[in-house]
A and B are shown apart, each in its own frame.
Chain A
Amino acid sequence: MPVRREKAERLADEELMPWIGRKDAEAFEVFYDRHGGAAYSLAYRILGERGAAEDCVQEAFISIWRSGGKFDPTRGSVRSWTLSIVRNRAIDVLRSKAGKAPKMTFDDDEILESRPSEELTEEEAMRHETASEVRGALSQLPDEQSKVIQLAYFGGFSQSEIAAMLNVPLGTVKGRMRLGLEKIRGELAEGLA
């Protein structure tokens, strides 16, 4: 028996996944409605082309659907798991396009401010706040730390590639990556405190 749309909308992400595992299209539609926008935004940020980003999202979501929503709750939230699948697929696409440089702008002015806060649900508001915190943390990072994080996460470059690209020692890249990520983490922790 399929889950009804109204019921599916009330379920938490983790509760939706077993329904998706049972091939429930209604549950999957709710899942897409919740995360499709963020997934597309991420894919677009990485690939820089609408068509490629949509193909990437479609493939990623279909893989989730066909794998029966095999989500491991010990490895984080459904959303971060989903976005990591989208990110990995987008990076694969990027790598398969030989010679194509990733989109590297990370203009703070461009970052999420899509709707007024009064229109956000509680969960969306939290994400919105998280986005603001990450944006704040990124803007406060020294350029060299921010750059290595962006090159690795959004560009799909490895430490060695980044070191060669920036013409700095590998150890320097490692250190910048760790320091930058820990600062963002610290900022998030302060926001939660």
Chain B
Amino acid sequence: MNVNDHEQRLEEVAAYAIGGLDPQQVPDFEKHLAGCKRCQEELRWLAPAVGALPEAVERQAPSPELKQRLMAEVRADAADAERQARTDEPHQRADARGGFGDWVRGLNVGGLTWKPLVGLALVILVVAGGIGYAVGNGGGSGGAHTTEVPVAANGIGAKVVTEDDRGELHLTGVKPLPKGRILEAWVEREGIVEPVPALFAPDQAGRASTTIENMKGVTAVMVTREPAGGSKKPTTKPFVAVPIET
């Protein structure tokens, strides 16, 4: 290759770096690049200039919903990956605890018995695999602790991730809410059910998450559909119930 030919190649480096090389020229150029130290150096030299171009763009703020949608998808993927990992290796799926049935039967909401709700809560878990639930512990001090109810016949999956005293409840497969309804989570602590202040709703993909600020002493997390604004006591049957190992 003579000097003029190479000068032409150097011009192609700039076009290649900026994404402006004609597509049909790219394979040939990349072949040349692989064996040409000078062009490789030129490309390395120009890279920061190309990388800096987007930094000069007027800054725009994406909507908060973008992050919510993105993280809902990411968390659902992460939950799937966790579930898959547990399936793939000999796992320690917790046996159904006799205590859970006792817990549901004895559930008391400030005097309101949850006995009529037992059937539905158990259906979710029974269909999901023998009222089984999986517990994953990251280990180490302050590590996250995950309690998960596999996807049930109604298509809803639930996971509670606890770290220190804070918890996050993640649901998948939740159908859109009727107008004027909202999701409300409840925690059971020493046999008493309390509302979780943060109301939440499913996104378009059917994923819904909320934060439980205080998980201390919580033995179960449930979710009901409530009128917009939430309720002090559950007004509908829980469609999700996740027992928490204490």
Contacts and interface: CB of A to CB of B under 8 A. Distances in A.
Contacts of B143: 1-2
A193 interface: no
Contacts of B53: 134, 149, 153-154, 184
Interface in B14-29: 14-15, 17-23
Nearest to B13: A178
A193 B110 CA distance: 70
Contact of B14 (A42, A57, A112, A182): A182
A189 B170 CA distance: 48
A53 B71 CA distance: 17
Interface string A3-39: 0100000000000000000011100110010001110
Q: Is the interface of A mostly helix, strand, loop or mixed?
A: helix
A36 B62 contact: yes
Contacts of A36: 62, 66-67, 70
A1 B85 CA distance: 13
Nearest to B142: A4
A76 B51 contact: yes
Contacts, number: 178
Interface string B130-168: 000000001110111000000000000000010100000
Given A58-B70, A174-B11, A156 B19 contact: yes
Query: Mostly helix, strand, loop or mixed at chain B's interface?
Result: helix
B40 to A, nearest CB: 11
A152 B19 contact: yes
Contact of B140 (A1, A28, A53, A188): A1
Contacts of A162: 20
Interface residues of A, number: 68
Contact of A23 (B12, B51, B77): B77
A48 to B, nearest CB: 11
Interface in A106-120: 110-112, 114
Nearest to B65: A54
Contact of B78 (A24, A84, A86, A174): A24
Interface in A160-193: 160, 162, 174-175, 177-178, 181-182, 184-185, 188
B144 A2 contact: yes
Interface of B: 8, 10-15, 17-23, 45-63, 66-67, 69-71, 73-75, 77-78, 81-82, 138-140, 142-144, 161, 163
